[in-house]
Structures are given as structure tokens and as C-alpha cells.
Amino acid sequence: MASSYSSKEEDGPRSGSSGPGAHAAGSKKPDNTAFKQQRLPAWQPVITAGTVLPAFFIIGLIFIPIGIGLYVTSSNIREIEVDYTGSDGSSPCFNCSQSSGGNVTKSCRCSVPFTLDQPFESNVYMYYGLSNFYQNHRRYVKSRDDSQLNGNLKSLTDSSKECEPYRTNDNMPIAPCGAIANSMFNDTLELFYIDPNGTSRPVPLIKTGIAWWTDKNMKFRNPGGNSPNLTAVFSGTTKPINWPRPVYELDTDPENNGFINEDFIVWMRTAALPTFRKLYRIIQKKNSLTPTLPRGNYTLEVTYNYPVLSFEGRKRMILSTISWMGGKNPFLGIAYISVGSVCFFLGVVLLIIHHKYGNRNNSSDIPN
């Protein structure tokens, strides 16, 4: 059978063949080319001790210093977290956490004292953090109308069906629509410094410059142009169900109101993990001779609006400086040090094995 099959291949019709790459008409046999017959030139490395050992040592000598530099840089970043969830009975915000219960019209205030053991020298960034909040759920991420957020007047009253069930309320279109906007974080955080005399002084917080430039200037725009009358523009819409006030009353500054409100823009950029932080305010350094936040006692004044106990979440305020590599993150430095150390250790082990057994294997090949 095999010889018969070969003869058919050899004696088959060759009409129209004009070169080595041609084949019979109607045949499914690939062309006789280097690419289709897998005859392209290739390089196959030969793994030897002379190539593997230097590679391990070079990786170790490069990764370990980089990891040490990253870890030291991260360690020099000042950061403090203040949990104000109020789930414990001894917490200053316990009463507020029990009474909030999703009531959007009732606010509760609480004060959380804390101490800075070390001064914060450079610009300080204030974040709010949430835990056990899954912003990466598929239906949650899709529940928005980007055309509406970009200032499209038609989408303002006829929003995308992806916003359901937060598309309309009382037969009026919601602006902004969707689950992301409806669940916007709305606690108010204020910071006070208690000087050695016991006087409480407010720490100035800057609320602009916290959103990405592309989001602020390209993705989010108010309907009606640069300086519209927002009350008139949004007159045919209603606020999201969980909001205490409409979108055109988020701020008194017209450059930070409506869809271009930076707190709103920051919230609309969904987080990938259930425990996340988002930039809330910036504390700028004013005098190079004095720290931005001196060591001492502080008070965090919270207007408690955002309930988290229903989904077993937690809320916290974070104060942090940054460096050239960003915020505090020791993982990257530890990863570099670990990989470099493992490579260096394996290089030493393989060098010992090669020194002890390599010559013996070569000598065994020599005939007596």
C-alpha cells in the first residue's frame, strides 16, 4: 500500500508546474517553500555550564541592587492609615455607622484622633480607602454611559440601556446614570492639627488636580459647552437614587462642577481589586524650611454618609508622600531581591556541581 501511495504522488498530474514551489492543480499539499515546509533557518541555543552560570550570576548581581534601591526608596515614604469604619463599639464613629444605614438625607459627624510620630516633609496626598467593595464586577463596570458623561445632549435624556436599573427614576432620566455613579463615595473628610498649645488649626486641602488630565479634559464634559448654566441644562433630569443632591450642585466652583467634578471623575475610574484607595485631596508644601505635616496630634473630622457595614466593608483615610516610583509599595523591591537571591544561589550550587562532577563526566568518555 505504501509503495502504491508513493507512486501516485510521483506520477500525479503536473500540468502547469513551473517551479519548485508549484504543485498539482486542486492538491492540498503545501507549496514546496522554506516557510510552508518549515525549513526556515533557526538558532537553537546549546545549554552549557559556560552559558548558564554567567547568566545566573549576572541576573543576581543586577536584580539584588535594584531591589535594595526600590525597597529603601519605598521605606522612606511616609504613610499612615486611619480606619474610621466604626464597626467596633469603642470607635468614635460607631454611632454614625449604626445610624447611617443608607439614609442619603441624614448626615452624622464624628472625630477620629491620631498622632504622627514622624513629620511629612514633601507634598502629602490624602486618599480614602474601601475594602470588600468589588468595583470590578462586569455588570457594575458596564453600568455607565460614556456618551452622556462626554456631554452629549441626546444621551442626557436618552441614556444607554447599560445603565439599568439606574437609568430612570420617577419617569425622569437620571444624570449621571448607572450603578457606578449611583454608588459614588460621598463622605466628607477634614483634617485638623492640634498645636502644642492645644489649639486646633485646619489643614488646607486642595480638591483640584486629583483626576487624570485625560479624564478631566477629554472623557468628561458638561453638556452645553464650557460655561453652561448647569441648572438649566440638567433641568429635565433627576439625581441618582443614592445622591443627596443633583450633579450640578457637587461644587460651587463652575470649573469643578457637574460631570467635570474631580471627585466624581476619580470615582468613575473603577478599581481592579476589592481593596483599593482613591485620591481625595492634596496637601501642598508651602515652606521648604518647615514640614508639610509636623509631628504631633491630629483630628480627622468625618461627615459620615457612606454606609459599608451592609457588605462587611471598611473605610479608611490614608496620608502618604510619594517618590519617583510612586506611593509606598515594598512588594516590588522584595520581588527583585528574592529573584536575584534565588538566581545567585542557584548559580553557586550549579558551579559547585559542575566543578565536582564536570571533569569526571568528561574523563569517562576517554577510552582506556
Q: What is the pLDDT of residues 70-109, one digit of tens each?
A: 999 999 999 999 999 988 888 899 999 887 655 555 679 9
Answer yes or no: is pLDDT of 305 > 50: yes
CA angle 238/240/244 to nearest 5° reads 95
Prediction pTM value: 0.79
Output the pLDDT for position 42. Answer: 85
Output the pLDDT for position 361. Answer: 56
Q: Mean of the pLDDT values across residues 230-249? A: 92
CA angle 286/283/301 to nearest 5° reads 130
Answer yes or no: is pLDDT of 18 > 90: no
Categorize the per-residue pLDDT at 3 as very low, low, confident or very high, splitting at 50, 70 and 90.
Answer: very low
Tell whether the torsion through CA atoms of 239, 240, 244 and 249 is positive or negative: negative
Tell whether the torsion through CA atoms of 244, 248, 254 and 255 is positive or negative: positive
Q: What is the pLDDT of residues 319-348, one digit of tens each?
A: 999 988 888 889 999 999 999 999 999 999
DSSP assignment, residue 31? P
Helices (H), ranges, 110-191: 138-142, 146-149, 153-157, 179-182
Output the pLDDT for position 89. Answer: 85
Output the pLDDT for position 363. Answer: 52
Categorize the per-residue pLDDT at 11 as very low, low, confident or very high, splitting at 50, 70 and 90.
Answer: very low
Output the pLDDT for position 325. Answer: 84
Q: What is the pLDDT of residues 247-270, one digit of tens each?
A: 999 999 988 999 999 999 999 999
Tell whether the torsion through CA atoms of 235, 241, 244 and 250 is positive or negative: negative
Answer yes or no: is pLDDT of 23 > 70: no
Answer yes or no: is pLDDT of 33 > 60: yes
Output the pLDDT for position 360. Answer: 63
Cα atoms in the 13 Å half-sphere on the side-chain side of 64: 12
User: Could you count the other beta carbons within 10 Å of the beta carbon of residue 152?
Assistant: 15
Answer yes or no: is pLDDT of 288 > 60: yes
- Report which of 210, 185, 199 is spatially closest to residue 302, judged by C-alpha positions: 185
For cell 500540468, the residue is: 15
Q: What is the pLDDT of residues 107-117, one digit of tens each?
A: 799 999 999 99
Q: In the chain, what is the straight-line distance between the N-terminal and C-terminal CA atoms, in Å?
A: 50
**How much of the chain is in helix, strand and coil states, percent to nearest 5?**
35, 20, 45
Output the pLDDT for position 290. Answer: 87
Answer yes or no: is pLDDT of 277 > 90: yes
Output the pLDDT for position 174. Answer: 95
State phi, psi for 253 to the nearest 5 degrees: -80, 120
Output the pLDDT for position 49. Answer: 86
Answer yes or no: is pLDDT of 154 > 80: yes
Categorize the per-residue pLDDT at 17 as very low, low, confident or very high, splitting at 50, 70 and 90.
Answer: very low
Higher local confidence (pLDDT), 1 or 356? 356
Categorize the per-residue pLDDT at 2 as very low, low, confident or very high, splitting at 50, 70 and 90.
Answer: very low
Answer yes or no: is pLDDT of 219 > 70: yes
Q: Is 252 exposed, middle or buried (0-12, 13-18, 19+ CB in 10 A)?
A: exposed
Size of the chain, expressed as the number of residues it contains: 368
Answer yes or no: is pLDDT of 8 > 70: no
Residues with Cβ within 8 Å of 365's Cβ and at least 6 positions away in sequence, in order, are: none
d(CA 233, CA 129): 33
Output the pLDDT for position 227. Answer: 64
